[in-house]
Amino acid sequence: MDRALLVGINTYPGAPLAGCVNDVMDMTAFLTAKRGFAPESIRLLTDARATTEGILERLNWLLGGLAAGDRVLFHYSGHGTQVAQRDASGSVDRMDDAICPVDFDWSEAHMIRGVQFKQLFANIPQGVEFVWISDSCHSGDLDRMLPGPGGAPVTQRFLVPPADLAWRAITAIENKIAPADFIHAPDGLNLALVSACKSDQTAADARFGGRPNGALTYYLLQALNAPKSMARPLTAVVSKVRVALKRAHYPQEPQMAGAKAMMERPFLAK
């Protein structure tokens, strides 16, 4: 059985992106043309439909009844952020990475944190080929516009917290509280995570030939479409993506985590 859930969000109120819907449409075309996924095995959520409730509902569909031999992909393109949390006494005790659904409003009810993903993915059966692509970032500063190739502005896929939550995050940093980020969340889980950048970097929402895309998704699909890439380990494919991003002067280095055996297999191999 094959299943794929792809979430792409451009229409964030006050902080729009441009390339996220193209990312998931391009990945969908690749899955059907090059990896043999049937259209009915793929679910897309974009823009207004990509609410917290909608994403969680379809994640439950994605993960239901999996068995050895199944191929599964979860692809998210959109904003990410970091949120500092307080304990019962009011002290800041942890930092969480989170993705931002279209109805994200900084409330607990409208974000999906790294710890939730770890819980959702904890029981993926052995023998399932599960890949998670996160074309977003989870750290940033108050300047959302970065210089891209040729000096053109590039928007980062990070939502900056409002002042009160930013102060809470500063408190966490001063207390040396490391974020429970996505790069570490999958350790020991039966999946391979490809994330757009290191935890202290930003992921670019850029343009290629005048068409918007996430830099990770664009170069990942280029690498996967290259000759013989279908037989190469995912680690080798992501290494090519790192080289391509560096050559194009994007200040992000894609990261991998998860089960070693999964990362050393070709991308969604049968």
Could you tell me whether strands 204-208 and 211-214 are parallel, antiparallel, or unpaired per DSSP bridges?
antiparallel
DSSP-derived secondary structure letter, 256: E
Which residues are within 8 A (CB) of 45 and not within 5 positions of it... i.e. 6 or more apart?
A: 5, 6, 7, 8, 54, 55, 58
d(CA 87, CA 76): 29
Q: Identify any residues that bridge with 189 across adjacent strands, giving them in sequence order.
A: none
Q: Report whether 157 contacts 78 (CB < 8 A).
A: yes
Question: In the annotation, is 249 catalytic?
Answer: no
Which residues are within 8 A (CB) of 110 and not within 5 positions of it... i.e. 6 or more apart?
A: 52, 101, 103, 104
CB atoms within 10 A of CB 254: 25
Which position among 20, 79, 100, 197 bears the catalytic label? 79
Question: In the annotation, is 79 catalytic?
Answer: yes
**Which residue's entry shows tokens 């998210």?**
76
CB atoms within 10 A of CB 224: 21
d(CA 48, CA 15): 14
Which position among 20, 75, 100, 137 bears the catalytic label? 137
Give the closest residue to 204 by CA, choosing from 185, 194, 217.
217
Tell me the catalytic residues: 79, 137
